[in-house]
Amino acid sequence: MVSQDRQTIQFSALKKGMRARIVRILKCPCELERLQEMGLTEGTEFRVVKVAPFGDPFEIDVRGYRLCLRKKETSCFEVERID
Amino acid sequence: MPVPAAKHKTSVVAIVGNPNAGKTTLFNSLTGSHQKVGNYPGVTVERIVGQLRLEGEQVEVIDIPGLYSLNPQSEDERVAAATIAGTLDGHKPDLVVCVVDAGNLERNLFLFTQVAEFGIPTLVALTMVDRVQAEGRNLDLSRLSNLLDVEVVPVVGHKSKGTEELKAAIARNLESPHVPALDLGLPVALETKVASLRERMARLGADFNSAEIRRALLRSPDDTEDFLVTYPEVREAFDEARAQLESEGLAKPTLDVSSRYAWASMVQRASLSEPKGPRKRTLTDKIDTFLTNRIGGLLIFGAIMYLVFQSIYTFSQPLMNWIQAGFDWLAGLVSPLLAGVPILQSAVVKGLIAGVGGVMVFLPQIMILFFFIAVLEGTGYLSRAAFLMDKLLGWCGLNGRAFIPLLSSFACAIPGIMAARVMPDQKSRLATILVAPLMSCSARLPVYLLLISAFIEPRFGPFWAAFTLFAMHFLGLLVAIPVVWFLNKKMLKGRRLPFLLELPPYQMPRLRDVWLAMYFRSRVFVKTAGTVIVFMSLVIWVLSYFPRLSEAQKTRIQQTAVSQNAAAKKEDIDKKIDEAQLEHSILGSFGHAIEPAFVPAGFDWRITTSILAAFPAREMVVPSMGIIFSLGDVDADHPGNLRGALKDARWPTGKPLFNAWTSVGLMVFFALCCQCMSTLATIKRETNSWKWPWFVFTYMTVLAYVFAVAIYQFGRWVGGV
């Protein structure tokens, strides 16, 4: 069931172990194209594996591999939780 | 008429692939030690070319640095793209071997889609096949090969299994090349526009591939400004095409990337089955429970880094002593042979042998460090270390990986600077290189110990002595923070890339790869030492040797010495002559000339000259102080009476030269300045430009001067001087 008004949240609000899907990529600066080239395209599902000891970066499982991202560099992603 | 034989041309094969895909192992298996490490002209990116012998044919293999995308944003990626496009060498490679990790197929195939668009014959080497099979997944090779429209050769990660098959496939594909044609499922409306624009630009003499045109078309107009400024004729056509795409809802910058991933995902589903059953925790997950754990992870990280540092700092000592002893032995052997020609004797023994020897002693440290880097990188731990440390180093513009080069620099800046190659992009690598010499290396230690034991400990006690020693080591790190911040803000150009760090599955590094990494780094270093450093050693020797004192001047010194003390021994007189000789030399004159500039820091010409004389190797400063304070050659480890000589040293006015403030000022000066030609030569080698060594030398000297003056003047102000 897909609700009409999907609840999107900020990437950085996710916690360890949560699964989520990228709903929309806001108009992003050019350098963040690289995040998409790493496989974080619209509709991609991922899982937060771990957050580093000092609170950043966090490790996600996406497209079958492990990627670490810094919180502030994920601000252009709108994600929704899937459970 | 005999037809002239076709000019024999060596075939060129480029190896490209994602980082961690097993590219280095593959390259080493193909070429072994037949590798040449050089630089691309004008850029800091290293060019590694190997030789591969196929049946009857010699093939040149270019190892392109590991990268995630050919849409060039960093210097490495620009070089990689240009190598494949042929704009760098003047010709395209004859064949591209695209290394694809079977365990990470989607993302690896993304790069493959970009490679395929260059219109070059391509071949896929599929790595980690054993790993996916161990997971119980089914791999359909012929289907994969059909979908990719290239030959796919499986190679087993670690063993050289598959290497022979790959060689055969390379030979086959060179013989009968095949250019892959992929259908990425991009909208037809877009593709026709791309094709027609590409044709128009080709007529203007601009050779862009479809990907570049498509990207320019899909991006916002501001981003394509530089692209169009060179070809104003097509601007209108571009704007028109873009407007049309917008009306059809296709003008999305993400379209290009998402189409490629949709394609890659389709290929993966078709050729590789999902693991059966629920997701199991892999071995890597289990190891990571410990290694990236909040408390345990940091403890283990600390322990590993301690081991690395201890190995470079302490365990290398016996090896370094042997090398030093070897050069001393050589000097002892050569010296008497040249006794008849004092100038040649001095040039060879004090210039050449001492200069080269002083640098070659660093070889053990470099080998040990690169052993650890190869192991840490090969196992996958380096990425974990970066993950743990990123927050601590990230806020000032470095990233987690900078930890290793900076830590190594506390032993010696030379391996530290070389270790900066673990940084993924040139900008952060350069920033790391430029601050690495600020870390207090082991060669500065003798100076600290000398001055602390002479002026701090007797007056303030052991606590402050230890504190001073600690502060000297901490200072460089502290100063590095604003320097990096400034460099990133003002100096280093290039787009800031987001921090992206892949945590690859753990694996055992192959011994051969570890050895080759150590071997090639050492070779690069020895080559630098053998060229730049030998030259600079000789220059410094000339400056400290000429002009010579005349016999009359020597006699006068002798007479003065005897008149002061009738019982003066011959060796004491000789020491006086050595001191006078150094003062008389170009270096001494220069030391005198700059004395006025250093008086505000409380340094006289003897201090400035000994710092200048130590330029070939920092640890030379204690011996050269020995000469200049009339003590002859002093052993850096046992400065004994040099301490007394420093305490007795006076300005011509009779005021003591040294006190606590001057000594702290001198230590700080020494901690911050870059009086080390080997470091500068290494920076030149690693950045492929003289601009950066000059920059480092200048900024560090200015910093050192400002700090030394500030400390001395502060001392005067509070009445300590």
Q: Cβ of B495 under 8 Å from any chain A Cβ?
A: yes
Beta bridge partners of B58: B53
- Is A52's CB within 8 Å of B292's CB? yes
Please determine, for residue B666, whether its predicted confidence score (pLDDT) is greater than 80. Answer: yes
pLDDT for B17: 94
- pLDDT tens per residue, range A27-41: 766 567 888 899 999
CB pairs under 8 A between A and B: 115
**Smallest Cα distance from B442 to chain A, Å:** 31
**Smallest Cα distance from B381 to chain A, Å:** 13
CA of B221: which chain A residue's CA is closest?
A30
Q: Cβ of B69 under 8 Å from any chain A Cβ?
A: yes
Assess contact for A83 and A19: CB atoms under 8 A: yes
Q: How far is CA B543 from the centre of its chain?
A: 31
Q: How far is CA B631 from the centre of its chain?
A: 39
Around Cβ A58, how many Cβ atoms within 10 Å?
A: 22
Interface test with A, best of B77, B265, B383, B503 (most A CBs within 10 A): B503
Q: Cβ of B294 under 8 Å from any chain A Cβ?
A: yes
**Cα-based distances in Å from B304 to B161, B278, B281, B311:** 32, 35, 25, 11
Mean pLDDT of B558-586: 79
Please determine, for residue B3, whether its predicted confidence score (pLDDT) is greater than 50. Answer: no
The two most distant CA atoms of chain A are separated, in Å, by 38
Please determine, for residue A21, whether its predicted confidence score (pLDDT) is greater than 90. Answer: yes
Assess contact for B414 and B679: CB atoms under 8 A: yes
Mean pLDDT of B112-129: 93
Exposure string of B647-660, with b = 16+ CB inside 10 Å and e = fewer, is eebeeeeeeebbbb
B293 contacts on A by Cβ (under 8 Å): 53
Q: What is the mean pLDDT of chain B?
A: 85
Q: Cβ of B226 under 8 Å from any chain A Cβ?
A: no
Around Cβ B186, how many Cβ atoms within 10 Å?
A: 18
Please determine, for residue B8, whether its predicted confidence score (pLDDT) is greater than 60. Answer: no
CA dihedral sign of residues A36, A37, A41, A46: negative
Select from A25, A33, A57 the Cβ nearest to the Cβ of B390. A57
Q: Cβ of A6 under 8 Å from any chain B Cβ?
A: no
**Prior bond of B41 cis (ω within 30°):** no
A57 contacts on B by Cβ (under 8 Å): 387, 390-391, 499, 501
- Is A34's CB within 8 Å of B498's CB? yes
End-to-end CA distance of chain B: 95
Q: CA Rg, chain A, in Å?
A: 12
Q: Cβ of A40 under 8 Å from any chain B Cβ?
A: no
A65 contacts on B by Cβ (under 8 Å): 103-104, 107, 502, 504
CA of A42: which chain B residue's CA is closest?
B258
Per DSSP bridges, beta strands A65-69 and A58-62 are: antiparallel
A24 contacts on B by Cβ (under 8 Å): none
Cα separation, B268 vs B147, whole angstroms: 10
CA of A49: which chain B residue's CA is closest?
B285
pLDDT for B633: 54
A44 contacts on B by Cβ (under 8 Å): 261
Question: If pLDDT is split at 50, 70 and 90, which confidence band does B225 have?
Answer: low
B391 contacts on A by Cβ (under 8 Å): 52-57
- Is A59's CB within 8 Å of B258's CB? no
Interface confidence (ipTM) of the complex: 0.92
The two most distant CA atoms of chain B are separated, in Å, by 104
Collapsed DSSP state (helix, strand, coil) of residue B279: coil
- Is A36's CB within 8 Å of B254's CB? yes
DSSP code of A30?
G
Q: CA Rg, chain B, in Å?
A: 31
Select from A42, A57, A63 the Cβ nearest to the Cβ of B501. A57
Cα separation, B120 vs B109, whole angstroms: 16
Assess contact for B256 and B214: CB atoms under 8 A: yes
B223 contacts on A by Cβ (under 8 Å): 30
Token readout for B282 is 């892999």
Cα separation, B206 vs B614, whole angstroms: 54
Collapsed DSSP state (helix, strand, coil) of residue B650: strand
pLDDT for B650: 83
- Is B504's CB within 8 Å of A66's CB? yes
DSSP code of B599?
G
CA of B77: which chain A residue's CA is closest?
A34
Rounded to 10 degrees, the C-alpha dihedral B690/B696/B702/B705 comes to -120
Please determine, for residue B251, whether its predicted confidence score (pLDDT) is greater than 80. Answer: no
- Is B105's CB within 8 Å of A64's CB? yes
B635 or B353, greater pLDDT: B353
3-state secondary structure B393-456: HHCCCCCHHHHHHHHHHCCCHHHHHHHHHHCCCHHHHHHHHHHHHHCCCHHHHHHHHHHHHHHH
CA of B220: which chain A residue's CA is closest?
A30
Segment B193-201 long-range contacts (CB within 8 Å, at least 24 positions apart): B193/B217, B193/B241, B193/B244, B193/B245, B197/B234, B197/B237, B197/B238, B197/B241, B200/B233, B200/B234, B200/B237, B201/B231, B201/B234
**Smallest Cα distance from B61 to chain A, Å:** 27
3-state secondary structure B485-514: HHHHHHHCCCCCCCCEEECCCCCCCCHHHH
Question: If pLDDT is split at 50, 70 and 90, which confidence band does B85 have?
Answer: confident
Please determine, for residue B634, whether its predicted confidence score (pLDDT) is greater than 60. Answer: no
- Is A38's CB within 8 Å of B503's CB? no
Cα separation, B423 vs B696, whole angstroms: 19
Question: If pLDDT is split at 50, 70 and 90, which confidence band does B4 have?
Answer: very low
**Smallest Cα distance from B88 to chain A, Å:** 24
Instruction: Select, from the ranges B206-215, B431-440, B566-575, the one with the highest average predicted confidence (pLDDT).
Output: B431-440
CA dihedral sign of residues B611, B616, B618, B622: negative
Taking phi over 0 as left and psi of -120 to 50 as alpha, with beta for the rest, A55 belongs to left
Cα separation, B485 vs B398, whole angstroms: 9
Cα separation, A29 vs A77, whole angstroms: 12
Mean pLDDT of B284-307: 90
Q: Cβ of A37 under 8 Å from any chain B Cβ?
A: yes
B388 contacts on A by Cβ (under 8 Å): 52-54
Assess contact for A45 and A59: CB atoms under 8 A: no
Q: What single letter denotes the amino acid at residue B582?
A: L
Assess contact for B256 and B191: CB atoms under 8 A: no
Cα separation, B495 vs B371, whole angstroms: 32
Question: If pLDDT is split at 50, 70 and 90, which confidence band does B721 have?
Answer: low
- pLDDT tens per residue, range B143-176: 999 999 999 999 875 566 789 999 999 999 999 9
Rounded to 10 deg, the angle between the B660-672 and B605-613 helix axes is 30
Global pTM? Answer: 0.83
Token readout for B364 is 């053990």
Cα separation, B92 vs B69, whole angstroms: 19
B219: Cβ contacts below 8 Å, ≥ 6 apart: A30, B253
pLDDT for B2: 45
Tally of CA atoms within 13 A in the half-sphere of B513 that contains its CB: 25
